[in-house]
Amino acid sequence: MDKQEGFEWAKIPPEYDRRFIFKVVASQATETDHTKDTNLPTSERVVRVYSNEERKIAARSLSLRHIDIDHDLKRIIPEALVLDAQWVEPNKIECICYIPDEKILNQIRAGFYKNVSIEETNREDVPLGNNRVDMRGITYFGLALVTPDFQAGDPLTSINPLYEGFSHLEAKFEFMVKAESEKEPVKEPIKEPVPPKEPIIEKKVEERVKELEEAITRLQKETSEAHKKQLEQFEKGKKEGRTEVIKSIEKVIPSVLVQRQGSVPFNRLCTDLKKKLREESQ
């Protein structure tokens, strides 16, 4: 399927500054006359013949190539690039170029650079007679902007800012750039969080364990209180029993009068016994 003319085939990557995008007709003539080009060796001052078949095959090899001035590789424009290239029926090679240079942009607007020239190599020169040579096996490896003093082989080439003076394309590419750079991601519908199902069995087990823990705590408390009461009763019983015993002993201890009539050892025994009884009764 043939592409339509007018750069309709082109797609501009959104990351490139649109001010420095240029539309270029890089080739249109099927013959270029170099017979008067004194910059070439005498043997190469010929009319070069380019068949549409060869040019069509070679067209896309111009993509992603450097851009220089007047075929001078010492004057390669920094960061300039042929972004893409395409054969357009019946006889054009169009390309989209990125040249991020304010000075060159203004020179192109002012008409200083009007033409370009493809840099190429080929496998074979086939003589056709009358100083004409058929170029076979063509590969493109660069593009040159040509100054007014430089004799371009193809006078039908051109270079212009893509977004100026080309309103219908400007609207199209404006839309394309914005569509790519401002496209919002598709928002996923917000899903309400689904509460996890309660583990019924685990819940029942936890409740049962809690009940058992409470019962054990309650039982321990009751046992402790009962044990405390038992000790209190035991101590009370001991005290009451001791009091009764002391009273019974005191009844049989001789009175002071009797002690005075007794011997010294007897009196000491009675005194010590009373003292001990007093201590125990406290």
Read off the pLDDT of residues 224-259 as tens digits, 9 standing for 90 and up. 787 788 778 767 766 766 677 667 767 776 665 555
If phi > 0 it is left, if psi is from -120 to 50 it is alpha, else beta; for residue 6 that is: left
- pLDDT reading at 198 higher than 90: no
pTM of the model: 0.57
159 vs 200: which has the higher pLDDT: 159
- Residue 168 has a pLDDT of 46
Encoded tokens for 124: 């074979």
Nearest alpha-carbon partner for 241 in 281, 204, 189, 268: 281
* Domain map (residue ranges) of the chain: 18-181, 212-281
- Residue 237 has a pLDDT of 64
Read off the pLDDT of residues 49-96 as tens digits, 9 standing for 90 and up. 999 999 999 999 999 999 999 999 999 999 999 999 999 999 999 999
d(CA 250, CA 266): 15
- Residue 269 has a pLDDT of 74
- CATH topology for 18-181 is Serine Protease, Human Cytomegalovirus Protease; Chain A (3.20.16)
Query: pLDDT category, 2, cuts 50, 70, 90?
Result: very low
232 vs 35: which has the higher pLDDT: 35
Nearest alpha-carbon partner for 48 in 132, 154, 143: 132
Encoded tokens for 131: 């100083």
Report whether 79 contacts 166 (CB < 8 A): no
Encoded tokens for 134: 């058929």
Encoded tokens for 33: 């006359």
